[in-house]
Amino acid sequence: MASASASVPRPAWAPWSLGAFAVLVAATNVAGIFWARIIDSSPAALLVLSSRNRWLALALGADLDPVAYWVIAPLRLALAYAVCHLIGRAYHATALNWFTRYLGVDPAGLDGFRRGFDKADWIVVPFFAGSNLVAALTGVQRMHPARLIPLLAFGIVARLALIQWLSNVFADELDRVLDWVQRYSWWLVGASVVGVFVLNARNVRRGGR
């Protein structure tokens, strides 16, 4: 199957999708390193760099304006999904091989994703609205935008609404966490540098196998 997909001509924009993905990964790494320094002063900037669940919750705890939350976070999540989807469309099975190798997903896990997608994409896409692997899979499967976009939009809105609700429920706990982060922000930056380096080194080593 991989050899068959390799023979299909790739679109002219294919390298641009990889370039965009590299930029997003770099931004995510910057967020992973400096989050403790910017979460209080610039929570919106943190979400521009990365809209992972933990940053979304902390940004709301840092009194991010709700309008900014509902503008920045959906756009950032949709952008990452679109880039991975385009990589899947351009590189087919090769793209899935990249994502599974670097994410540590074994062939059985990938087969499970594919079976679930084939049987119930209307569940998989919204539930995994933040998954790079599922986004690439929708591209490989040539999911039509008219079907993909509403499912993805529903998944993103549901995820953001849930995080906002949980942030309100646990507002006091978030305040305590943010107070602690501010006291030890530079220590957390140092620990984050080590963590990001170790994670990337592990992914590179795993991807090279």
Give the pLDDT of the chain (209 residues) as one tens digit per residue: 444 444 568 899 999 999 999 999 999 999 999 999 999 999 999 999 999 999 999 999 999 999 999 999 999 999 999 999 999 999 988 888 888 877 767 777 777 778 888 888 999 999 999 999 999 999 999 999 999 999 999 999 999 999 999 999 999 999 999 999 999 999 999 999 999 999 878 776 765 55
**Residue 113 corresponds to which tokens in the numbers above?**
């994703």
CA distances to 1, 102, 111 from 97, rounded to whole Å, are: 12, 9, 12
* Dihedral sign from CA coordinates of 190, 194, 199, 203: positive
Q: Provide the pLDDT for residue 1.
A: 41
Q: Provide the pLDDT for residue 209.
A: 59
Q: Are 129 and 81 in contact (CB under 8 A)?
A: yes
**Residue 162 corresponds to which tokens in the numbers above?**
């849930």
How far, in whole angstroms, is CA 111 from its chain's centroid? 21
Q: Could you tell me the maximum CA-CA distance found in the chain, to the nearest angstrom? A: 56
CA dist 32 and 75 (Å) reads 19
CA distances to 13, 18, 59, 127, 140 from 163, rounded to whole Å, are: 35, 30, 11, 14, 30
Q: Give the CB-side neighbour count of residue 90, counting CA atoms within 13 A.
A: 17
Total residue count of the chain as it appears in this document: 209
Q: Are 81 and 143 in contact (CB under 8 A)?
A: no
How far, in whole angstroms, is CA 84 from its chain's centroid? 9
Q: Provide the pLDDT for residue 116.
A: 81
